[in-house]
Amino acid sequence: MLPEREILALHRAITAIRSVSGEEAALADFLGDLLRRNRVTVARLGASLLATVGEGPVLLFDTHLDTVPPAPGWTRDPWEVEVVDGRVYGLGANDAKASVAAMTAAFLAFREADLPFTLALALVEAEETRGTGTEAVLAELSRRGTPPEAAVVGEPTGLDVAIAQKGLMVLELVARGEACHAANAAALGAANAARRLARDLVALEAVDLGPPHPRLGPVTLEPTQLRAGTARNVVPGEATALLDVRTTPGLHGHGLVERLAAAVTGEVRVLSERLAPRETPEVSPLVGAAREARPEARLFGSSTLSDLVFMEGIPAVKCGPGRTERSHTPDEYVLESEVLDGARFYTRLVRAWAERLVESAA
């Protein structure tokens, strides 16, 4: 593994490079140069990087370069990195540049090792927005004929290991009525779409969304954006609500939509269902390697989204340094000790995975 001072210097350097979603190119340039100086083969996919060492089945380390824009309330310059009592302040320091630094350090530790597999490092764009970076990496690995055998997604989890993650469906509930002058609505008996929408939203509260998942809990449904009316004195002929539905394995897609549609008088439209829930069995060799690398780690289910959603058919976990509750907050920070712990964890995980492959081949 790189010396600790170099890992921390790398983390500070990448945190200082602005990489709000859509602006990741400069950071990709910096890290691409670093990897090439260390004699690593690197492919550039847009503003994402894919580096590999070794030969054989692929273990993928995947984390993201982009950040959200600074939230209101920062008391520091978000790109002026400050270290105070072991805390590294800066936009993205926690989410997810701690994982970027730790995964990169672990990856470089094996650049000249004789691994019984391919270790791939994906540093991707657009995780906070569209997920196109990881999709491009997976497509490239598939094109090469080397889809991942297993994957580790770097996100701030306190180095606890998420073996399940909720999915997201975005639905639109549409209620229709009869537009007319508000003064005449009662006499005409005109149906008010806003009232119909309100009744449907109340009805959705009583819908059975299925049994809770043992790690992820229940499916949840929250109306988030409502729209109705074109003018103060016009009864709305249409009213809509966006529904944020956080789903669990087995409770995602058409069947869930049917349950909701049966409970309302309006129309339920699917706007997005591409972000599916994921789950890796606790008995998976990858989970075993992660537990061997960090015996004290808690196995859990995550309600927050990440690029884990794109690991269809791939045993995958989400684990990284930092704390999720610091993500997207003013004065975001991570502890230097957390970054170093992350690098050690990823390094031990590679070794544990290698040992399992050797044992299984014996």
pLDDT per residue over 90-112, tens digit each? 999 999 999 999 999 999 999 98
Indicate the residue among 241, 275, 309 that finishes a domain.
Answer: 275
Q: CA–CA separation, 286 vs 17, rounded Å?
A: 33
- Nearest residue to 320 via CA among 131, 149, 100: 100
Same domain, 149 and 48: yes
pTM exceeds cut of 0.85: yes
Indicate the residue among 247, 275, 303 that finishes a domain.
Answer: 275
Q: CA–CA separation, 163 vs 240, rounded Å?
A: 35
Residue whose tokens read 């569209």: 130
Phi-psi region of 217 (alpha: psi -120 to 50; beta: other; left: phi over 0): left
Q: Per-residue pLDDT for 257 more than 80?
A: yes
Indicate the residue among 225, 246, 275 that finishes a domain.
Answer: 275
Residue 299 φ/ψ, nearest 5 degrees:
-90, 135
Same domain, 20 and 54: yes
pLDDT digits (tens, 9 = 90+) for 113-162: 999 999 999 999 999 998 999 999 999 999 999 999 999 999 999 999 99
Q: CA–CA separation, 301 vs 307, rounded Å?
A: 15
Same domain, 74 and 35: yes
Q: CA–CA separation, 23 vs 42, rounded Å?
A: 20
Task: Measure the CA angle with vertex 359, ends 356 and 361; round to 5°.
Answer: 110
**Model confidence band, residue 300 (pLDDT cutoffs 50, 70, 90):** very high
Residue type, 290: A
Contacts of 292 (CB under 8 A, 6+ apart): 348, 352
Contacts of 246 (CB under 8 A, 6+ apart): 166, 167, 168, 219, 220, 221, 303
Residue 173 φ/ψ, nearest 5 degrees:
-95, 125
What is the average pLDDT across 265-291?
96
Same domain, 283 and 331: yes
Q: For the chain, what is the domain count?
A: 2
**Model confidence band, residue 357 (pLDDT cutoffs 50, 70, 90):** confident
Contacts of 103 (CB under 8 A, 6+ apart): 61, 63, 121, 123, 154, 320, 342, 346
- Active-site residues, by number, are 66, 127
Cα separations in angstroms, 245 against 185, 198, 223, 266: 34, 18, 9, 17
| Percent of the chain with pLDDT strictly greater than 70 | 100
Cis peptide before 316 (omega within 30 of 0): no
Same domain, 25 and 131: yes
What is the average pLDDT across 17-45?
97
Give bridge partners of residue 226 from the DSSP assignment: 241
Q: Per-residue pLDDT for 248 more than 90?
A: yes
Q: Per-residue pLDDT for 44 more than 90?
A: yes
Task: Give me the CATH number covering residue 80.
Answer: 3.40.630.10
Same domain, 48 and 104: yes
State residue 362's pLDDT score: 64
Same domain, 55 and 127: yes
Decide if 287 contacts 125 (C-beta within 8 A).
no
Domain extent for 210:
167-275
- Nearest residue to 97 via CA among 305, 325, 308, 333: 333
Same domain, 316 and 222: no
Decide if 61 contacts 134 (C-beta within 8 A).
no
DSSP string covering 58-90:
EEEEEEE--BPPPPTT-SS-TTS-EEETTEEES
